[in-house]
Structure 1
């Protein structure tokens, strides 16, 4: 049945054209924006996921900037430590030259003092953005390291950050001091006796190591007839147990810095002993020490059942008000104007060079960690961007093909609508 009031063919053609136009508009929007999911109404689930991932990408950009700042800080610190190590190598050359008696030691000492001043100058200037990694004499907890933002970690809806802790390495020459009274003093905290057993380990792992706490080594040898060694030479204290006053005035003391471990204390005390031994002409065969981890190993080649040497580690709490010194404080005590001073300087400089080398190596290791993390964050950020693209970006090849097909369909739909609209005109022939 034909009707002039209802044109079913035109209605169908119009619906088809509207559907094609809607899809055509969608494809044109995808091509114009480059995204097939640009708004929540395009695909709410995919849009929500992509926005969360975009927020993470923005976060990783901040992480990358933080790592770049850390890398620059490490570069300055490493360069400073390397330069200081080179200066101490020069100082060693001066100290070796001073071993010869037929030299002008006063001029050599003046050169050494100038080099030490240069060390302090480098330490003072080796800062980046206000952070100096070569100074660590503050007793405040946490001041001995800095945290570099390394990553943001997502677990469902929870987001946390993770840091890389970079430890400071003090290479200044400021002097430390130990309080002669007050505080919590623990004599004979760790003890060992060399007798017929000529090798003993001192385990320092039980010590309370905190910023401002002081530690000392004391030795007390017993050889009544000086048959194996000269008894007085191997007695750093008046009695077998060191007093707090003797600790404050002693040469083998170390005040811990924030971030120090028992291993750092062990290494520092061994360095102090080596300097003391060189200054006092102690025989390495009678008494020698080495540090490995938290342990100090003491050895002797001459002690026996009656000729013994007691070695003790004493500690004084931070509540005594001790002053933290620089990592190279012994540089200031180098004085080659005398034979004993030159000998002591030679014993001290080797340990101080090791301090500088260890600092530079540690900064190099930390810098490598930051470089590795930076590479990881960059790669992860790129992977997230690729993932977002896979979710929301328009496939331009597919969109182009769809656009051409829809344009053809649009033209055909318009022709169909035109034909459908002209069909009622054929009814006029019935009334002629």
Structure 2
């Protein structure tokens, strides 16, 4: 039956042509954008996954920039630490020369002073973007280290967190420590017992205790002062021996620093009867080298814990400012002291080297991670251009045939007119 009101063939042809045109439009969009999924309506689930991954790529890119900044900062610090180490070796050579009998110690001292000033200049200038990793004299908790953004972690529940590489600050400054000015707990340490000690014996001089911990591994509040009072038998000095803890120090660190200062002061004064060290409990010990009895009056060597945190933190190379080879005693003491100072420098270089290696590895990983994520996103949303091009040609042919079919269907009612002639 033919009808002039309803043309079923034309309707079918029109719907087919609409479908072909819709597919052709989508294919043309894929060619122009290069994506098979460019909006949520194309595939909501895949689109959401791709957008999350794209946001992670943005985060990783920012992390890569942070690591690059960290590498630059570490590079400056490492270079300064290495230069300082070389200058300390040069100073050591001058000190060794000063231990000779027939030398001009005053001239050697002048050269040492010049090298010392050069070290100060290098350490002071070792900053990048305002951050100097060779300065650790702040009393704020956590100031002894710097966190470098290193990773972006996404949990299975969608929670995102960051991870840092913590770089410990070192201190190669020469500033002098000053106590807090309130020695509230004088003679708090464990003095020598009343027993006379024979040659080779060891006894504890002082046990340091802090409010935030005790023992060899206990932590110490930054800025807390520790003092060995002047006038003690084995101090042989005219002023207190002071160490002010920096952030990250343990009780044992404090004891070791106090023992270093005690040894240096005693040697500089010509008192070489005792060797000072630190035992596993974080106690300063003295070994009698000459067979003389250890004083037992309760005040020979005592520790005063200045119970405040207002002290001035000294530099890691503080003893360098006290090196004086103009006398034989000073030259001998300096030879012992320079070894400890060189170890401080070597320790700083090793610490920076370890951190720099971690940053380098992480930077390489993040770079690879970014490339991997981009490839993954591409596999989800990018169009297969070869397939798309072939489909475009096919749809264009279908479109032409669809137009022809619709034209034929629309011309069918024209045959009815012949019946009315």
Give the TM-score, by structure 1 length: 0.83
Question: In structure 2, which of residues 373, 397, 414 is the aligned counterpart of residue 408 of structure 1?
Answer: 397
1:211-241 CA distance string (max 9 Å, x none)? 11233569xxxxxxxxxxxxx9x94269xxx
Give the CA deviation at 1:50: 2.0
Cα distance in 2 for partners of 1:8, 1:320 equals: 95
Is the CA contact (8 Å cut-off) linking 1:215 and 1:313 kept in structure 2?
Answer: no
Corresponding position of 1:102: 102
Please give the secondary structure, in 1, of the residue aligned with 2:139.
coil
Corresponding position of 2:172: 171
1:43-100 CA distance string (max 9 Å, x none)? 2222222222222211221111111111111110110011011111110000000001
Corresponding position of 2:226: 215
Cα distance in 1 for partners of 2:307, 2:81 equals: 28
Corresponding position of 1:134: 134
Is the CA contact (8 Å cut-off) linking 2:180 and 2:224 kept in structure 1?
Answer: no
Please give the secondary structure, in 2, of the residue aligned with 1:188.
coil
Question: In structure 2, which of residues 277, 284, 292 is the aligned counterpart of residue 289 of structure 1?
Answer: 277
Cα distance in 2 for partners of 1:7, 1:296 equals: 105
Residue 35 in structure 1 maps to residue 35 in structure 2:
yes
Is the CA contact (8 Å cut-off) linking 2:180 and 2:306 kept in structure 1?
Answer: no
Cα distance in 2 for partners of 1:312, 1:369 equals: 44
Residues 291-370 of structure 1 mapped to structure 2, 5 A cutoff: 295=282, 298=285, 300=287, 314=303, 316-317=305-306, 319=308, 321-370=310-359
Is the CA contact (8 Å cut-off) linking 2:146 and 2:166 kept in structure 1?
Answer: yes
Give the CA deviation at 1:373: 1.7
CA RMSD in angstroms, aligned pairs only: 3.4
Is the CA contact (8 Å cut-off) linking 2:187 and 2:302 kept in structure 1?
Answer: no
Cα distance in 2 for partners of 1:258, 1:338 equals: 36
Give the CA deviation at 1:191: 8.0
Cα distance in 1 for partners of 2:228, 2:81 equals: 28
In structure 1, list runs of 5 or more residues that go unmatched: 219-231, 239-245
In structure 2, list runs of 5 or more residues that go unmatched: 208-213
Is the CA contact (8 Å cut-off) linking 1:194 and 1:303 kept in structure 2?
Answer: no
Cα distance in 1 for partners of 2:181, 2:167 equals: 34
Assess, with a 3 A threshold, how the Cα gap between structure 1 residues 431 and 189 changes in structure 2: closer, same or farther: farther
| Equivalences, count | 407
Cα distance in 1 for partners of 2:8, 2:309 equals: 101
Corresponding position of 1:249: 239
Residues 122-201 of structure 1 mapped to structure 2, 5 A cutoff: 122-155=122-155, 156-179=157-180, 181-185=182-186, 187-188=188-189, 198=201
1:228-268 CA distance string (max 9 Å, x none)? xxxx9x94269xxxxxxx9x9344x4221122233432442
